[in-house]
Amino acid sequence: MANVKKSKGTIGILTGGGDVPGLNPAIRAVTVRALREGYKVLGIRRGWAGLIEIDRGRKNGSDFVINLTEEVVNKVGRTGGTFLHSSRTRPSHVPQTAIPDHLRETYTGDVSDLTKEVLANIEYLGIDTLIPIGGDDTLSYGEHLHQQGVPVIAIPKTMDNDVPGTDYCIGFSTCVTRAIEMTHALRTSAGSHERFLVIEVFGRYAGFTALLPTMAGAANRCVIPEHSFDIENLCELMSRDRDRNPSNYSVVLVSEGATFTGLEEMVFEDEEKDMFGHKKLGGIGDRVARVLRELSPKYNNGHRVNVINQRLGYLVRSGNPDALDSVVPMAFGNLAMDLILEGKSGRLINVRNGRYDNVPIDVVTSRKKVVDVGKFYNTERL
């Protein structure tokens, strides 16, 4: 009689929210370990969207699911982005315009909760444990599924490094590394023209991606969402920095969520909101650059200082992962598999105080993770 190896179960993996380098290495780590432990692995395409788009009547699950093998994941494991694709989908709050065609007669409200469909599709695919890889928005819905009885192991990723419960998120190191490299590269133009250099970086609520490069010497000053800044003070400080610089320029990193004192609203590209209620940020760097130029004569003996203004945007989240974002995802993936083998779920893989560990997944909805201003940010020196 043939010796047929029985599968231990099926693991589903998805990636949600913005792409970052390190997602594909995490998918690879889970897949390789899971297959060798005797599990089947399914990759869900387009994040949570993949689990609402499946039409069980048409049996079109294969359109949104990839059977993951070592051959598939080894080819992409060294690359950036996510080959499973991603989306900013929140199945509990789906607007009518985003309802799949086959569900439009069932869900007719302006906003509908499609969690029932997600649960049915998880059962339809035979998924025993789900591993969402994402930021606090993506993982908050993973926590919601955990409360509905779905075994979930969450892996944190976000270039903003703002998922509560962990000191490190996949993508953060590459983001900081790129921000430092690109800021130093832009110095040549700033110095050649003796200008202020204003660089806008990601960071809606948390300023880690501006603060760490500045602490590493990439910029003279930084402004972050956690502290509303005085633009006059910033101009005075940057003018002083420029005077002290032999090449006669100075640099500020601006978090996209930073705000002026007296103008407490963030700057948005447009008013459209995603399913998590977020409007797309962008433009605070333009505003800072414009006001610095206008104020500059006051602090530069009546002479106007021109500004080089650059938004790094997707440049810091594209391309291949750096060393840390190649190694940490490998560890996170294996730690997720350790928990599955132990029969545990409802956990967030994390790093705390230099050690890998895990915590209850509900930490992702318990609070916001932001810069401790009193400990790490001098509000007078910016």
Instruction: Please give the positions annotated as active site.
Output: 160
Query: CA of 135: how far to CAs of 25, 59, 210, 360, 363, in Å?
Result: 17, 30, 18, 15, 12
DSSP assignment string, 68-99: --HHHHHHHTTSSS-TT------TTSEEGGGS
What is the sign, positive or negative, of the torsion defined by CA atoms of 116, 364, 65, 46?
positive
Beta strand pairing call for 196-201 and 65-67: unpaired
**Cα→Cα distances 166→135, 163, 204, 231, 286, Å:** 11, 7, 18, 33, 33
Q: How buried is residue 64: exposed, middle or buried, by Cβ count under 10 Å (0-12/13-18/19+)?
A: buried
First to last CA, the chain: 73
Determine contact, residues 228/338, Cβ cutoff 8 Å.
no
Query: How far is residue 155's CA from residue 338's CA, in Å, rounded to a whole number?
Result: 13
Taking the C-alpha atoms of residue 261 and residue 291, their distance in angstroms, rounded to an integer, is 13
Q: Look at residues 211, 291, 218 and name the one whose alpha carbon lies nearest to residue 255.
A: 211
Helix (H, G, I), strand (E, B) or coil at 223: strand
From CA 1, how far away is CA 197, in angstroms rounded? 73
